[in-house]
Structure 1
């Protein structure tokens, strides 16, 4: 749970392919392996999650905070955290060949708010 979405109860499911990740992640592959295992129904502990906590997740990962920006009638999704969860969802998609729905807590944002995260590269993110 994050400070931004701790009070949000609604969890949305957004296709992985629709969520943009403008910042490259730094990854711990053992943690990703544990998350993939949890998504497949076989909980596994990692450095940051005990087996008891992984078991309590019931084959789900915590929702990822996603900025939701509306521009010219279109909706765009951007995520800056949840790197390991995204990689776990991506690996599941690669293994199954099917689109994966990511559990998200959506944070409404404007283009000017998004610019605080990405600077001038925002011009390349919208048609």
Structure 2
């Protein structure tokens, strides 16, 4: 996480907002890239699903410094992941193709509702919306 010494770039600001939302997705729930993008755009006025995907692709290394040092995600897919990447899916409920097997295994282990064929998240049952920010 930024130590306050250096300024955060606009890209890092966006990534921090995305990762902050993703870290809050509860076990057995999911969000889409588009939904995350809409929520971040309300706050920052920029970005879209592709930008969220780019952040998620770099969440293990490129943006690791934006995740608090004491961050721990509870879930069966990991012992050391600070960001539950497997809970972010596309608009059809599909996890990232490159990590399909690992994501589906993690989602199943969490009890996340999947479609009958078991290859996508049942978004009608599993979608999660963050509560509104306190004013």
Pairwise TM-score range, normalised by the shorter structure: under 0.3
User: Using CA pairs below 8 Å that are at least 6 residues apart, which structure has the higher relative contact order?
Assistant: 1
Which is richer in strand? Answer: 1
Scaled by the length of structure 2, the TM-score of the pair is: 0.25
Structure with greater proportional helix content: 2
TM-score (norm 1): 0.26
From the CA coordinates, give the structure whose radius of gyration is larger: 1
